[in-house]
């Protein structure tokens, strides 16, 4: 089930009939049948596919809770964190598991995992569901590791390439005499904006 879900997520495709069958297969398994990799990749897949199914998500969260935080490898902990953020998971137990898992392995995470954790931190701060349910320890963890996660989230030189539409918009703004900055980094979240037009729209 986990491998099939992950395959659909990698293709960004979610056939309704197949997803229904996978849902039934998932809920039909005992909770202890899932290892840490399977539950982490499955939750991430549901998030990528934007599956809005509280029962399915809740089942996988309960399966995740069947493993101690220290048993999750760095990529798995990062996937859990990102999935909780993307799915707006409000389970206090689940978020405590995520924070404790991150605390045990965040120092061993690669750039991709740190980027996922950055988005989890943002959700704990700005998503009302997560901010109410997240344990107090997330703030301490962000204080210790947040800068590293934010740095990993920002694009490296050459990673971003302007689309033809973006170039057309830039040319139009230039012809209008507007001031703008391409690929501007939003200071609060770290997200890159295709174009940030100056206040007033004119130079």
- Residue whose entry in the numeric block shows the structure tokens 């729209």: 201
Least confident range of 6-15, 127-136, 141-150: 6-15
Report yes or no: 120 and 85 within 8 Å, Cβ to Cβ: yes
Question: What is the mean predicted confidence (pLDDT) over 105-117?
Answer: 96
The pLDDT value recorded for residue 12 is 64
Cα distance between residue 153 and residue 178, in whole Å: 29
The pLDDT value recorded for residue 162 is 67
2: pLDDT confidence band, cut at 50, 70 and 90? confident
Report yes or no: 82 and 46 within 8 Å, Cβ to Cβ: no
Average pLDDT, the chain: 88
Q: Give the N- to C-terminal CA distance of the chain in Å, as an integer.
A: 56
6-52 per-position pLDDT tens digit = 888 877 676 788 889 999 999 999 999 999 999 999 999 999 999 99
Residue 127 CB partners (closer than 8 Å, separation 6+) = 85, 88
Please check the confidence at residue 172 and state whether its pLDDT lies above 90. no
Helices (H), the chain: 2-10, 16-27, 36-48, 54-64, 74-87, 92-105, 111-126, 128-133, 137-153, 164-176
Closest by Cα among 145, 135, 67, 144 to 96: 135
């Amino acid at each position: 089930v986990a491998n099939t879900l992950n395959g659909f997520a990698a293709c960004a495709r979610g056939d309704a009939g197949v997803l229904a069958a996978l849902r039934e297969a998932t809920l039909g398994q005992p909770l202890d049948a899932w290892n840490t990799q399977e539950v982490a990749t499955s939750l991430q897949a549901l998030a990528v596919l934007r599956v809005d199914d509280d029962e399915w998500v809740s089942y996988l969260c309960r399966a995740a809770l069947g493993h101690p935080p220290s048993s999750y490898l760095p990529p798995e902990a990062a996937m859990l964190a990102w999935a909780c953020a993307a799915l707006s998971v409000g389970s206090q137990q689940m978020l405590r598991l995520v924070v404790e898992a991150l605390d045990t392995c965040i120092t061993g995470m690669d750039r991709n995992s740190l980027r996922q954790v950055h988005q989890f931190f943002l959700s704990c701060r700005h998503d009302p569901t997560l901010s109410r349910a997240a344990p107090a320890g997330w703030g301490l963890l962000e204080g210790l590791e947040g800068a590293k996660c934010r740095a990993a989230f920002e694009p490296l030189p050459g990673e971003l390439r302007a689309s033809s539409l973006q170039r057309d918009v830039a040319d139009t703004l230039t012809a209008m005499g507007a001031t703008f900055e391409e690929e501007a980094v939003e200071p609060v979240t770290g997200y890159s904006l295709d174009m940030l037009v100056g206040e007033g729209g004119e130079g």
